[in-house]
Structure 1
Amino acid sequence: MSRWFSRWSATLLALIVSLPAAADSARERLTRFYDQVETMRADFEQVRLREGSETGRRHAGEVVIHRPGRFRFEYIEPYEQLYVSDGGRVWSWDPGLEQVIVQDVTAILGNTPAALLAGNEPLEETFRIAEVGGTDGERWVELRPREDAENFEQVRLTFGPEHIRALEIVDGTGQTSRMTFSRVAYGIAVDEGRFHFEPPEGADVVDETD
């Protein structure tokens, strides 16, 4: 799962402080999402789909973000996984394996989907951005990395009138990972302790920060 998260490094996930008008374009909603929101929490449901498939394995959990660089993705179903960043390091904790992988946050952000959620670098410098339609108040925007990305080809974000609703990634093999958000809250007070992780006693710690 930690290698998967690097592909999302992503994920992600914070959002618009002021509500956009119904006539706002997808690009305007993306700009507000990226430029105006410092903190966010949401429940998420993630499904990974093979090319041509409409069903896939379901994962669910909670995400908390404090820009720049701090995030906490906590998977609860069907098994526990945890990804925590304090803005400098990322801890990937797998309770089943009793293993922690520690990485530099710069290895997770950059031209990756996580940069959309937790980063603060100008999007136009990293991604080609295109509006791709919308229905019933939703707006869709597609982003492709300006430089070749090892683990994904494109990202599509779905925005409702008030909040981000979904993030969808297509990787180089044609597999799609779709994360939908619910109970989204922006501009919340966040306990900074949630962005730190102390490996449990006896855990196998793999440090990749050197």
Structure 2
Amino acid sequence: MSFHSLIRAAAAFGLAAAASVAHADGVGALQQFVTEVKSGRASFTQTVTAPDGKRKKTTTGTFEFQRPNQFRFSYAKPAEQLIVADGKEVWIYDPDLQQATVRPMDQALGATPVSLLAGGDLSKDFTLKALPAANGQEWVQATPKRNDSGLQSLKLGFKGRELASLEIVDGFGQQSVMQFSGVEPNAKVPADRFRFAPPPGTDVARQP
């Protein structure tokens, strides 16, 4: 999975988000989530489907974040991978290959799900549209205003008072579906969770 795809996947953090009124739609739930949830953690299951619809890969992991723009996204075995953002830089570390990639935060985010959920300006980067309820969830579509976002579509599903699903289709037609559990809105996450120091012997590549 590419650097940009991993950053987009890192947005998938299903924290509780209260609806402001009884009939609030997905747009209202998302806006309140961005306004009121400042930190948290959750577990996830991600299923990635190839553009031909035949090949699928399922992984699990955890995600933690602290606004603005700090997050830690960890894939579990057998394909371990770590993404850490400290607010200035984003690191991607592959322990099996002993390789790390680092990039400035402002170059890594832009109109991505991470900027949407971890501190971005909704009105600046996205056009939001409420979608019909389906599968027991209220849905919202977020369309990036930039043509170079690398996304075909981005949808978020709220189940009751909780952001439960994230569906992403990238520019190549690959679909990623995230499902969340064990959500902890506004959890106190230690500051050192958002710092990364490459282990000795790591091959580090810096991207502009």
TM over 0.5: yes
Counterpart contact for 1:46–1:58, Cα < 8 Å: yes
1:198 pairs with 2:180 = no
Closer, same or farther: CA 92–140 of 1 in aligned 2, 3 Å: same
Give the alignment of 1:87-106 within 5 angstroms. Answer: 87-106=87-106
Any idea what the Cα deviations from partners look like across 1:96-123, whole Å, max 9, x if unmatched? 11011111111222111211221232x1
Give the alignment of 1:1-210 within 5 angstroms. Answer: 1=1, 3-5=3-5, 8=8, 10-13=10-13, 15-16=15-16, 18=18, 22-51=22-51, 53=53, 56-121=56-121, 123-135=122-134, 138-209=137-208
Q: Secondary structure at the match of 1:74?
A: strand
1:165 CA displacement: 0.5
Counterpart contact for 1:9–1:109, Cα < 8 Å: no
Closer, same or farther: CA 23–89 of 1 in aligned 2, 3 Å: same
Distance 1:100 1:88 in 2: 16
Structure 1 runs not aligned, ≥5 long = none
How many residue pairs end up in the alignment? 208
1:9 CA displacement: 6.3
1:56 CA displacement: 1.2
- TM-score by structure 1 length? 0.90
- Higher strand proportion (structure 1 or 2): 2
Q: Which moved more, 1:148-157 or 1:13-22?
A: 13-22
Any idea what the Cα deviations from partners look like across 1:127-179, whole Å, max 9, x if unmatched? 11111111475210011111203421210001111221111111122211111
Closer, same or farther: CA 203–136 of 1 in aligned 2, 3 Å: closer
Distance 2:100 2:176 in 1: 24
Distance 2:134 2:16 in 1: 20
Q: Secondary structure at the match of 2:76?
A: strand
Structure 2 runs not aligned, ≥5 long = none
